[in-house]
Amino acid sequence: MRRIKPGLRASEFAAYATQPAKMLHLLARAPVLLALVAATLASASASPSKIKERTVYPRGGTSSSRAPADHAVTLRIALPQPSFDVLEQHLYEVSDPAHARYGAHLSLEEVEALSKPHTESVQAVDAWLASHGVPESACIRSSSNDWVRINVTVAKAEEMLDAKYYIWKHTTDGDTLVRTLSYSLPEDLHAHIDFIQPTTMFARFKGHRTTFRWHGVQESASALAPSNGTILADAASGIRVDASCNTTVTVDCLKQLYNAVGYKSSATNGNAIGITGYLEQNANIADLQQFYKDQVPAAINSSFKVVLLNGGENNQSLAAAGAEANLDTQFAYGLTFPTPGTFWSTGGSPPFKADPITTTNTNEPYADWLDFILNQEKIPQTISTSYGDDEQTVPESYAKHVCANFAKLGARGVTLTFSSGDNGVGDGNPNPKSQTCFTNDGRNTTAFIPLFPASCPYVTAVGGTIHVPEVAVFFSGGGFSNYFLRPIYQELAVQRYLDTLPKGTYKGLFNPNGRAIPDVAAQGDNFRIFVGGRAGLIGGTSASSPAFAAIVSLLNDARASRHLPSLGFLNPLLYTVGLAGLKDITVGNNPGCGTPGFNATKGWDPVTGLGTPNFGKLKEIVL
């Protein structure tokens, strides 16, 4: 049995961190001279304005008119985090099973110390805001001061940013956004601000609306009956799965398929699992009880904690039940019962208010969730999110800042799983005559479209499979980031895959040096859930992410019962010793952008990653 031992205690962090000269310099900077601060403040407000960010007219959207001057906007100002490279080093060390510090996760205070911007940046931004009549009392700051939020009107935002805001309407679903194509700042302020949003970001950060594929309502309990006792057996692993799982996926199916039958988790050892939910996605308790009666009788009358953030709702009427929220909570909590569960319902940031012009939130609710969770002393060890958007609709500066915040959670011992997407390599369309995969940079060239946040290298991206034996499901999102370089933990596995591609395959359609997606996979179709009091089948990588997260949570439960730290950022383990606990998927592909997409093959591939989990084997590896 392979034993992975925890390394240094978190209390030893200070002694460790201050030994290298680099860390000492970054964490204990000398006070900034008052004269330098004064010069910086003066130049920030007096220097000529220069464009900070610019984008192009987005495909799939039309501008109808200028935004009303009195429309409310919450501007989020991001300040640079000069010590992030130190935090990243800690992240990799505490996440590497071969390192002496493995499992020595950082505390809230330690992460905040590594997140603070330079004092001169804070002062420069404050002076700029004051010059526009925004007092300190009107600023809402993150605990480490790397974010500042202010509530202003469109007129004030246009004055501050030398910008013009328009109302943009997406032709596909009618959603509207108030955005500008460019904004400017005093030139000397550029070094003190990473970005300001919402300005040039056209991502909507919602759940995968195309994730859900209802195959028809199943009201009869007989839908769960075994297929005449037929059992499907995997010759290589010896795993036995009821044949009914080929058409209807249940909690029992996943436990059988992923070798977790018989494992009993604890309700009291400190392990927990969390699910994020966003606009209008309510997890219904009555539906959960029906699901438990249907599949997890022992869990009947149990529930989960709901945390409401920034106007989030917990509407328990059956008519308000959200398919995505129910899918995530029913399977995540059903697989891990009695592990405590949390569901965060995040609404729009104040002062957002639906009106005839802007009927949906124009702010970034995911950043609001990050603000909250990063400030919590106690966080569930495993968190699943089933949302994303085309990477190219997210400004690179924003994506990298948010991704850095995911790294902070990983450094604190939290595993983050994200759905890899439901459109294959782009639009899910193999027909070259009707594909819609074009760059959003004004050139409109054909290219594969990766998703964010799945493209962030500090999260675990989960693709999809189907059937028993498992093959890749056709809609499994996969590919290569255009923003993030391939991380070191992926280098060998991904390069092997690229070396097997025939020369010239999809040349110019993807970035061969980018962070590769997904990392792993799990079943992603035909999940039996309850929504609005009715049973049905549903699919998408929105099912795969909570399913894989649940297996990780069971592993964390096993470690907690042995008084071992949580697994935290999972990828360095998955691509090394964890490989022995994953089943390689070698059949299937993910068409899109007028192509057949990539093929699942031996080893890592951009359809199912490294494969699907074997809980029993993984448990032996991590204990």
Task: Please report the pLDDT score of residue 350 as a whole number.
Answer: 33
C-alpha dist (Å) from residue 45 to 41, 42, 131, 401: 7, 6, 7, 25
Give the pLDDT mean for 585-596: 96
Among 278-282, 306-310, 437-441, 588-592, which stretch is predicted with the lowest mean pLDDT?
Answer: 278-282
Query: Distance between CA 537 and CA 211 in Å, rounded?
Result: 12
Whether the per-residue pLDDT at 5 is higher than 60: the answer is no
Task: Please report the pLDDT score of residue 62 as a whole number.
Answer: 78
Task: Please report the pLDDT score of residue 227 as a whole number.
Answer: 54
Whether the per-residue pLDDT at 335 is higher than 50: the answer is yes
Tell me whether residue 300 is annotated as binding.
no
Task: Please report the pLDDT score of residue 216 as a whole number.
Answer: 47
The residue among 555, 586, 561, 560 whose CA lies nearest residue 573 is 555
How far, in whole angstroms, is CA 467 from its chain's centroid?
26
Tell me whether residue 234 is annotated as binding.
no
Q: What confidence tier does 47 reach under pLDDT thresholds 50, 70, 90?
A: confident
Contact 608, 480 (CB under 8 A): no
Task: Indicate if 324 belongs to the active site.
Answer: yes
Whether the per-residue pLDDT at 387 is higher than 70: the answer is yes
Phi–psi pair at 345, nearest 5 degrees: -105, 110
Q: Which domains does the chain have, with CATH numbers?
A: 49-81+129-202 (no CATH), 209-622 (3.40.50.200)
Whether the per-residue pLDDT at 228 is higher than 80: the answer is no
Q: What confidence tier does 205 reach under pLDDT thresholds 50, 70, 90?
A: low
The pLDDT tens digits for 599-623 are: 999 999 999 999 999 999 999 999 9
Q: End-to-end alpha-carbon separation of the chain, Å?
A: 8
Query: Distance between CA 73 and CA 160 in Å, rounded?
Result: 13
Give the pLDDT mean for 376-384: 97
Task: Please report the pLDDT score of residue 170 as a whole number.
Answer: 76
Query: Would you call the peptide bond into 117 cis, given omega within 30 degrees of 0 as the criterion?
Result: no
Q: What is the pTM of this model?
A: 0.90
3-state secondary structure labels for all residues of 315-370: CCCHHHECHHHHHHHHHHHHHHCCCCEEEEEECCCCCCCCCCCCCCCCCCHHHHHH
Query: Distance between CA 75 and CA 148 in Å, rounded?
Result: 8
Q: Enumerate the β-bridge partners of residue 152.
A: 73
Whether the per-residue pLDDT at 283 is higher than 70: the answer is yes
Q: What confidence tier does 15 reach under pLDDT thresholds 50, 70, 90?
A: very low
Residue 262 CB burial class (10 angstroms; 0-12, 13-18, ≥19): exposed
Q: What confidence tier does 206 reach under pLDDT thresholds 50, 70, 90?
A: low
Task: Indicate if 525 belongs to the active site.
Answer: no
Task: Please report the pLDDT score of residue 273 as a whole number.
Answer: 98
Tell me whether residue 585 is annotated as binding.
yes
Whether the per-residue pLDDT at 217 is higher than 60: the answer is no
- What percentage of the chain carries pLDDT values higher than 90? 70
Task: Please report the pLDDT score of residue 312 as a whole number.
Answer: 87
Which residue among 120, 188, 324, 519 is the active-site one? 324
Among 59-73, 174-188, 221-235, which stretch is predicted with the lowest mean pLDDT?
Answer: 221-235
Which residue among 121, 265, 397, 542 is the active-site one? 542
Contacts of 474 (CB under 8 A, 6+ apart): 424, 428, 588, 589, 590, 591
User: What number of CA atoms fall less than 13 Å from residue 605's CA on the CB side?
Assistant: 28
User: What number of CA atoms fall less than 13 Å from residue 590's CA on the CB side?
Assistant: 35
Task: Indicate if 136 belongs to the active site.
Answer: no
Task: Please report the pLDDT score of residue 24 as a whole number.
Answer: 36
Please provide the average confidence, as pLDDT, over all residues in the chain.
87
* Of 444 and 365, the one with more pLDDT: 444
Task: Please report the pLDDT score of residue 279 as a whole number.
Answer: 66
Task: Please report the pLDDT score of residue 46 as a whole number.
Answer: 61
Whether the per-residue pLDDT at 575 is higher than 70: the answer is yes
Which residue among 96, 112, 194, 328 is the active-site one? 328
DSSP state of 388: -
Give the pLDDT mean for 204-232: 54
Whether the per-residue pLDDT at 135 is higher than 90: the answer is yes
Q: Enumerate the β-bridge partners of residue 54.
A: 182
Query: Distance between CA 583 and CA 595 in Å, rounded?
Result: 27
